[in-house]
């Protein structure tokens, strides 16, 4: 079993509220718009990090992380990408591939809107953790936390960090 902390759209911002949850996880997954190497270094000092780059990320971040990260953890197949869309509205770049070879868990960021949706057609779970940073239009900073045990995703929690003013 693995305890996962899922975050996105930090836009160079990391604080003790985020780090408190990082310390409780087995792995941290970041779905792009990281913003700075300082965020990466801070997370990596505490836990193993899997990530993808987002549209605001610079060349240094893009050399460290891919656009798409497909992997298997426990017995669960995962696909992470920053701009991926949602069930029935997947981004044109991935639409064909996700239909042909759907993962069990598809994760994207970018929208700053937290969503968890089961795609009945492709039989996959889609997650978008919202935005953990302070840049953007979102009113509440959010992340997701869950456990993966073999091919089961359980104990999914929404983490609300704070209301933005």
Q: What percentage of the chain has pLDDT greater than the value 70?
A: 99
Please name the residue that has the structure tokens 């996880």: 25
Q: Tell me the helices (H) and strands (E) count for the chain, helix number first.
A: 4, 12
pLDDT given for residue 137 in this prediction: 80
Q: Tell me the C-alpha distance between 112 and 84, whole Å.
A: 13
Q: Rounded to two decimals, what is the model's pTM?
A: 0.96
In the predicted model, is pLDDT for residue 85 greater than 70? yes
What's the average model confidence in pLDDT over 101-107?
98
In the predicted model, is pLDDT for residue 6 greater than 90? yes
In the predicted model, is pLDDT for residue 135 greater than 90? no
Handedness of CA 128, 133, 136, 142 (dihedral sign): positive
In the predicted model, is pLDDT for residue 163 greater than 80? no
Pick from 26, 33, 31, 20: nearest CA to 146: 26
In the predicted model, is pLDDT for residue 162 greater than 80? no
In the predicted model, is pLDDT for residue 136 greater than 90? no
Pick from 10, 6, 24, 33: nearest CA to 158: 6
Q: Tell me the C-alpha distance between 122 and 146, whole Å.
A: 21
| CA 30 to chain CA mean position, Å | 5
pLDDT given for residue 164 in this prediction: 62
* Burial per residue of 127-141, b for 16 or more beta-carbon CB atoms within 10 angstroms, e otherwise: bbbbbbbbeeebeeb
Contact 118, 125 (CB under 8 A): yes
pLDDT given for residue 165 in this prediction: 59
Pick from 43, 38, 32: nearest CA to 9: 32
pLDDT one-digit tens code per residue, 65-75: 999 999 999 99
Q: Count Cα neighbours of 59 within 13 Å in the Cβ-side half-sphere.
A: 0
């Amino acid at each position: 079993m693995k305890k996962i902390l899922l975050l996105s759209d930090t836009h160079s911002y990391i604080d003790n509220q985020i780090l408190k949850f990082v310390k409780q996880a087995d792995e941290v997954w970041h779905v792009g718009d990281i913003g700075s190497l300082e965020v990466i270094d801070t997370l990596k000092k505490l836990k193993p990090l899997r990530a993808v780059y987002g549209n605001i990320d610079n060349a240094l971040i893009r050399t460290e992380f891919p656009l798409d990260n497909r992997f298997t953890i426990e017995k669960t197949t995962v696909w992470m990408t920053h701009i991926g869309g949602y069930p029935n509205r997947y981004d044109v770049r991935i639409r064909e591939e996700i239909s042909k070879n759907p993962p069990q868990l598809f994760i994207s960021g970018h929208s700053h809107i937290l969503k968890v949706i089961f795609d009945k057609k492709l039989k996959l779970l889609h997650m978008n953790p919202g935005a953990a940073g302070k840049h953007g239009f979102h009113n509440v900073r959010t992340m997701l936390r869950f456990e993966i045990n073999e091919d089961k995703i359980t104990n999914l929690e929404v983490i609300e960090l704070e209301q933005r003013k």
